[in-house]
Chain A
Amino acid sequence: EAQVTQNPRYLITVTGKKLTVTCSQNMNHEYMSWYRQDPGLGLRQIYYSMNVEVTDKGDVPEGYKVSRKEKRNFPLILESPSPNQTSLYFCASSLSFRTDSYEQYFGPGTRLTVT
């Protein structure tokens, strides 16, 4: 089954404790992206990747890191989480960065709480 998976689905952590949220897709997609969803703000893009070893900042990259060492994986790293990073995070993938007509497939989301 074609899908985007994220782990963990739920995470409660404390300020400053490094964490990684994993994202994996099995569709051989070139393009992958991370979004955060906050009430009243909709979805905002954090980082995206056009292909292996190619990443770029989205609208709200501060406090986050990403890497794309393999085509299928795109982990989101919070080196020193803070309470304002409490949010619902979605990973998404699409066949190609170079066209806007392909569907983006979304993972189920990771709900992160930073205390």
Chain B
Amino acid sequence: GNSVTQMEGPVTLSEEAFLTINCTYTATGYPSLFWYVQYPGEGLQLLLKATKADDKGSNKGFEATYRKETTSFHLEKGSVQVSDSAVYFCALSDKGYSTLTFGKGTMLLVSP
């Protein structure tokens, strides 16, 4: 079956530091890949997505590239802000349908 593996958190960074959150996946076929973000006390919001190999999703300074050869979709940001503190979820959908498989989430804590 499908699965998503994310690095364990929390990830603790100082403001303006570089961020990487690793995500690898297992899926049959060619999934679409997503990063969702959950701010404290809120539901999940889509951060970015990529639907085919070598696609780069980007939003709000965050980027992730769909790497089929390494089955990875690592999230990066060049300079984090305190307001980026949240839980980040990597997810995939397979066979062209909406059902998502999520990773366990990675908490990011950014201090001033």
Residues of A within 8 A of B (CB): 4, 31, 33, 35, 40-45, 48, 58, 90, 92, 94, 96-104, 106-109
| Pairwise interchain contact B97-A100, C-beta atoms closer than 8 A | yes
In angstroms, Cα B86 to Cα A27, docked, is 26
| Pairwise interchain contact A100-B43, C-beta atoms closer than 8 A | no
B89 within 8 A of A: yes
| Pairwise interchain contact A107-B51, C-beta atoms closer than 8 A | no
User: For A48, what are the chain B residues with a Cβ–Cβ distance below 8 Å?
Assistant: 98-99
16 interchain pairs (CB within 8 A)?
Answer: A33-B98, A42-B102, A42-B103, A43-B44, A43-B100, A43-B105, A98-B96, A99-B98, A100-B93, A100-B94, A101-B32, A103-B49, A104-B98, A106-B43, A108-B43, A109-B43
| Pairwise interchain contact B98-A40, C-beta atoms closer than 8 A | no
Inter-chain contact total with CB atoms closer than 8 Å: 67
Category for how many chain B residues contact A: 20 to 34
User: For B51, what are the chain A residues with a Cβ–Cβ distance below 8 Å?
Assistant: 100-101
In angstroms, Cα B93 to Cα A1, docked, is 27
User: For A58, what are the chain B residues with a Cβ–Cβ distance below 8 Å?
Assistant: 99
**Closest beta carbon of chain B to A46's beta carbon, Å:** 12
User: For A98, what are the chain B residues with a Cβ–Cβ distance below 8 Å?
Assistant: 96-98
Partner of B89, one of A31, A33, A43: A43
| Pairwise interchain contact B99-A33, C-beta atoms closer than 8 A | yes
User: For A96, what are the chain B residues with a Cβ–Cβ distance below 8 Å?
Assistant: 98
